[in-house]
Amino acid sequence: MCGIVGYIGKKRAVDVILKGLSYLEYRGYDSAGIALISDNTAHIYKAPGKLSNLKEILSLEKEENINANIGIGHTRWATHGLPTEINAHPHHCNCGSLTIVHNGIIENYKDLKPDLEKKGCKFLSQTDTEVAAHLIAHEFADTKDLLKAVQNAVKKLKGAYAFCVTHKSMPDRIIAARKNAPLIIGVGEGENFIASDIPAIIEYTKKAIYLSDNQVAEIKTDSIKIYDENDNLIANKVENLPFEPIALSKMGYKHFMLKEIHEQPDVVRNILIDKIKSEDLAVVLDDVKLSKEELTKINRIQIIACGTSLHAGLVGKYIFEELTGIPVDVEASSEYIYRNTIADKNTLVIGISQSGETADTITAIKQAKEKNSHILIITNRKDSAMARLADSLLPINAGIEVSVAATKSYMAQLLSLYLLAIYTAENIGAKENNLVKEIKKELLTLPSKLETILNDTKNIENIAKKYSSFKNFIFIARGINYPTALEGALKLKEISYINATGYPAGELKHGPIAMLDETMPVLAVLNKGIVYDKVLSNCEEAKARQAKLIGVTNFIDEKHKNLFDDTVIIPEIPDIVSPALNIVVLQLLAYHISEYLGKDVDQPRNLAKSVTVE
Ligand code: F6R
């Protein structure tokens, strides 16, 4: 969601900020803006649409106005008010002295506004952020101190925020604050940086301070002071940033999404290293901080997540229940919250999130924590807010994922769930059986099977081209691949804007079949296994309604050869591990359809990589 970049130092702030914002584009945005302080004046530039529009405006500006060494910039993902120039950040007080960029939602902005209006504030935008600008400006009028003004103001704000504030009369400092939205301070030499996420600053520094909730920071060229919620100065905790700038390159691929799809064999190898040494040895998972005795007492598992991570959780349910016999509920975080969920100290709550910053999942995890359940977090960002809430933290180490559509992180989440389920089964003695061994063996061969698919994608590309003009799609599967159908449909709709829905194949006849005719292709995922014949029958039913049929399968016999209009044959794999292989075909199909249609594959409209508002 919104991206923030701030800079104070000796460089041209506009260059650092624009570059930083471009590295945050993947978070999703619909307008951009920047405020620069030079000659005791705040110069503000804003534009709806892409960053290139803002750059265009800046290119026409007089050099003396933009030649500043301090500034704050923003990419906005609209929550309150249309993505227009007026609603774009930075916002400012009436005299234009104080500027602010903000990520999050100030929930009580409507309560604060009337009082500020009575005091003479004129509101120009429909945003919640402008209230914060006026509120801080009023505090500044009283205190003449920007830090104090922000400290006083945040005590009146409700909701989520990460923001940066400047004042033209104090061009030697930026004040930053955070509550339930990410913000880091990059530590430089004779310069400092502020950003919503690491990519914006990694080119300049590998050291950073992660601001915690309710902290306020005063950032100058050569000092950073952090204050807690009681305005006490606290010690700085400087940490090393976890990745290299190279991770942000497309490495010759046309899009990050394609690069990330192709990284999956290595992601799997990386995650298995030291954890499964051979099928005969027990899984090693030092990250699980539950003793054998505590694990044995777990009588219920709840998995909470959103979007693609939720689909990984649904696969997790099948694996866990099969291997451990422990009942598993999987729920969208946004549904888990604001009701009395049943959990206790014998419930294992698993939160899954690529970003570790998804607001709904954070709220759900906090709710579960209050029930004394053990919180296990599976995330790609061990530096995230969610990671900090974990009793056990399982980092998936997939490397930064830039494409908004999640691919390699889904793969890594699946792998983590396999490992966790096997580890649990082995520790509680639930299954001393061949299935656990077989899964371990298959996981070890998964990278080469993934490579078999990735090394020859021509057939998938042809199918993508053939079906790209359809406006609707149905994805069907059963059992452990039902979540694969959901995830395949999500991938297609989010990057191509084609209406795609995943159904359990057996549900077709309970309603969706009414939609079938020659304009509605049906993609079926069917693996040789317990539900194979059942899915085939469901395909026959679809065919009888003239639907075009695409089969993604590891087995097709002579008699069904002509059932499908198109097929993608994947390597042999047991049903229980097949979601990790099948999904790659669906990712590639969605990618090539989107690419063929000329859509913005890596940054689909309206979407954000990190959904930091509820
Ligand atoms: C889809 C996608 C989203 C995310 C969802 C949760 O490709 O990326 O559906 O999966 O917004 O995000 P995380 O996993 O960061 O909590």
Report CA(15)–ligand 1 centroid distance (Å): 30
Q: Is the CB of 309 under 6 A from ligand 1?
A: yes
Task: List, in sequence order, every beta strand (DSSP E) within 416-532.
Answer: 472-477, 499-504, 522-526
The per-residue pLDDT for range 568-612, each reduced to its tens digit, is: 999 999 999 999 999 999 999 999 999 999 999 998 888 877 777
CA distance 176 to 198: 16
Q: Please report the atom of ligand 1 found closest to the CA of residue 310.
A: 10
User: Choosing from 2, 93, 121, 164, which is the catalytic residue?
Assistant: 2
Q: Is the CB of 358 under 6 A from ligand 1?
A: yes
Which residue is listed with tokens 């790609």? 380
Which residue is listed with tokens 């669906």? 586
Q: Is the pLDDT of residue 430 over 80?
A: no
149: nearest Cα among 4, 159, 163, 160 = 163
Higher pLDDT pick, 196 / 79: 196
R_g over Cα of the chain? 26
Mean pLDDT over residues 31-36, rounded?
A: 96
Q: Is the CB of 578 under 6 A from ligand 1?
A: no
The per-residue pLDDT for range 379-402, each reduced to its tens digit, is: 999 888 899 999 999 999 999 899
Q: Is the pLDDT of residue 294 over 80?
A: yes
Q: Please report the atom of ligand 1 found closest to the CA of residue 308.
A: 10
Amino acid occupying residue 304: I
Burial class (CB in 10 A: 0-12, 13-18, 19+), 49: middle
Q: Is the pLDDT of residue 431 over 90?
A: no
Burial class (CB in 10 A: 0-12, 13-18, 19+), 442: buried
- Ordered strands of the 174-179 beta sheet: 91-92, 98-106, 159-167, 174-179, 215-219, 224-227, 233-234
Cis preceding-peptide flag for 90 (omega within 30 of 0): yes
Mean pLDDT over residues 47-74, rounded?
A: 94
Supply the mean pLDDT for the chain. 94
Q: How confident is the model at residue 246 (pLDDT cuts 50, 70, 90)?
A: low
Report CA(340)–ligand 1 centroid distance (Å): 25
Q: Please report the atom of ligand 1 found closest to the CA of residue 413.
A: 14
Helices (H), 298-433: 307-324, 333-336, 359-369, 408-428
The per-residue pLDDT for range 122-131, each reduced to its tens digit, is: 999 989 999 9
Query: Which residue's CA is minimally distant from atom 4 of ligand 1?
Result: 307
Amino acid occupying residue 526: L
Report the share of the chain in percent with pLDDT over 70: 99
Q: Is the CB of 380 under 6 A from ligand 1?
A: no
243: nearest Cα among 278, 203, 301 = 203
CA distance 597 to 124: 39
Q: Is the CB of 354 under 6 A from ligand 1?
A: yes
pLDDT of residue 298: 97
First to last CA, the chain: 11
Q: Kindly state the tokens that stand for 584.
A: 């790659």
Q: Is the CB of 567 under 6 A from ligand 1?
A: no
Q: How confident is the model at residue 425 (pLDDT cuts 50, 70, 90)?
A: very high
Backbone angles phi, psi at 89, to 5 degrees: -90, 160
Mean pLDDT over residues 49-69, rounded?
A: 93
Higher pLDDT pick, 146 / 104: 146
Q: How does strand 549-553 pair with strand 392-395?
A: unpaired
Q: Is the CB of 215 under 6 A from ligand 1?
A: no
Q: Is the CB of 406 under 6 A from ligand 1?
A: yes
Report CA(402)–ligand 1 centroid distance (Å): 12
Q: Is the CB of 396 under 6 A from ligand 1?
A: no
Whether 164 is catalytic: no
Rounded to an integer, what is the distance from CA 422 to the centroid of its chain? Answer: 26
Report CA(409)–ligand 1 centroid distance (Å): 9
Q: Is the CB of 192 under 6 A from ligand 1?
A: no
Helices (H), 544-575: none
CA distance 484 to 167: 51
Q: Is the CB of 87 under 6 A from ligand 1?
A: no
Report CA(347)–ligand 1 centroid distance (Å): 24
The per-residue pLDDT for range 299-355, each reduced to its tens digit, is: 999 999 999 999 999 999 999 999 999 999 999 999 999 888 899 999 999 999 999
Q: Which residues contact 23 (CB under 8 A, 6 or more apart)?
A: 199, 200, 202, 248
User: Choosing from 50, 382, 440, 609, which is the catalytic residue?
Assistant: 609
The per-residue pLDDT for range 183-197, each reduced to its tens digit, is: 999 999 999 999 999
Query: Which residue's CA is minimally distant from atom 9 of ligand 1?
Result: 307
In Å, what is the CA distance from 111 to each residue of 116, 117, 364, 394? 10, 11, 26, 41
Mutating to test ligand 1, I would choose from 354, 396, 496, 613 the residue with most ligand atoms within 8 A of its C-beta, which is: 354
Report CA(211)–ligand 1 centroid distance (Å): 23
Whether 609 is catalytic: yes
CA distance 23 to 603: 12
Report CA(404)–ligand 1 centroid distance (Å): 8
Rounded to an integer, what is the distance from CA 77 to the centroid of its chain? Answer: 14
Q: 447, 476 in Cβ contact below 8 A? A: no
Q: 75, 3 in Cβ contact below 8 A? A: yes
Q: 577, 68 in Cβ contact below 8 A? A: no
Mean pLDDT over residues 240-261, rounded?
A: 86
